[in-house]
Amino acid sequence: MSFVLHRDLRKPPPQLARGDGNYLVDAAGRRYFDASGGAAVSCLGHSDDRIGAAISAQLSQAAFAHTGFFSNDPSERLAERLVEAAPEGTGHGRIMFVGSGSEAMEAALKLVRQVQLERGQPSRTRIVSRRLSYHGNTLGALAVGGHAGRRAPYEPMLAGCDFIDPCHAYRYRGAAESERDFGRRMADQLARTIDEIGAETVAAFVAEPVAGATLGSQPAAEGYFQRIREICDDTGVLFIADEVMCGTGRTGTLFALEQEGVHADVTTMAKGLGAGYQPIAAVLASEALCESIERGSGTLWNGHTYMSHAAACAGALAVLDVIEEDGLLANVQSAGRYLGEELRAAFGQHPNVGDIRGRGLFWSLELVRDRESKAPFAPEDALAPGIKTATFRRGMLCYPSQGCVDGRRGDHVLLAPPYAVTHGEIDMIVERLEDGLTDALEAVQHHA
Which residues of this protein are in contact with ligand PLP, per CB under 6 A? 39, 100-102, 105, 134-137, 208, 212-213, 242, 244-245, 270
Q: 100 or 331, CB closer to ligand PLP?
A: 100
Q: Output the smallest distance, CB 205 to ligand PLP, in A.
A: 15
Q: Output the smallest distance, CB 212 to ligand PLP, in A.
A: 4
Q: Output the smallest distance, CB 218 to ligand PLP, in A.
A: 12
Q: Output the smallest distance, CB 125 to ligand PLP, in A.
A: 21
Q: 90 or 102, CB closer to ligand PLP?
A: 102
Q: Output the smallest distance, CB 149 to ligand PLP, in A.
A: 15
Q: Output the smallest distance, CB 312 to ligand PLP, in A.
A: 13
Q: 107 or 293, CB closer to ligand PLP?
A: 107
Q: 134 or 239, CB closer to ligand PLP?
A: 134
Q: 136 or 358, CB closer to ligand PLP?
A: 136
Position with the least CB separation from ligand PLP: 101
Q: 104 or 441, CB closer to ligand PLP?
A: 104
Q: 212 or 376, CB closer to ligand PLP?
A: 212
Q: Output the smallest distance, CB 37 to ligand PLP, in A.
A: 11
Mapped to the 3 state alphabet, what secondary structure does the chain carry? CCCCCCCCCCCCCCCEEEEECCEEEECCCCEEEECCHHHHCCCCCCCCHHHHHHHHHHHHHCCCCCCCCCCCHHHHHHHHHHHHHCCCCCCCCEEEEECCHHHHHHHHHHHHHHHHHHCCCCCCCEEEEECCCCCCCCHHHHHCCCCHHHHHHHHHHCCCCEEECCCCHHHHCCCCCCHHHHHHHHHHHHHHHHHHHCHHHEEEEEECCEECCCCCCEECCCCHHHHHHHHHHHHCCEEEEEECCCCCCCCCCCCHHHHHCCCCCEEEECHHHHECCECCEEEEECHHHHHHHHHCCCCCCCCCCCCCCHHHHHHHHHHHHHHHHCCHHHHHHHHHHHHHHHHHHHHCCCCCEEEEEEECCEEEEEECCECCCCECCCHHHCHHHHHHHHHHHCCEECEEEECCCCCCCCEEEEECCCCCCCHHHHHHHHHHHHHHHHHHHHHHHHHC
